[in-house]
Amino acid sequence: MSLLSDVLVISGVAMDLVGATVLSHAHNAESMVDIREEIGAEKSALGEKDAFATQAQLLAEKRIGFFLLTLGLSLNLAGLVMKTTEGTWTMAALAASVVVAGLAGSALWVRMRGRRIRREIQEARRSEGAGDLPEQ
């Protein structure tokens, strides 16, 4: 059991490094696109033919980067759970409940922030539209 847990922890950390590298490259490329846009140069990067293809490439890189980070952290967590001396099922239940609570909290946060942002956008549109009305 110890060898398996060590393999999971080590492969999880290695997968996290790969995911972080992919995300770093995507972030750097996105910064390049922004700089090119600001100076009025061609908006494409990464050898793509236009800005839309570049954005699609960056989105794909970000998705795989986050997937690899998630996979690596999951492997790492599984290895740590298996390595514990407290009881594998107890620690697995604890780990799963913390992950579920974190996902629920994140979903709630995103929903609350999304509503607030949509409300601010609607208010800005209303105030923008009110300024377009002719004066009487």
Angstrom distance (rounded) from CA 26 to CA 53: 14
* 69-113 pLDDT, tens digit each: 888 888 888 888 888 888 888 888 888 888 888 888 888 988 999
* 16-46 pLDDT, tens digit each: 888 888 888 888 877 777 777 777 665 555 5
**pLDDT at 124 exceeding the cut of 60:** yes
Check residue 84 and give left, alpha or beta (phi > 0: left; psi -120 to 50: alpha). Answer: beta
Angstrom distance (rounded) from CA 91 to CA 105: 21
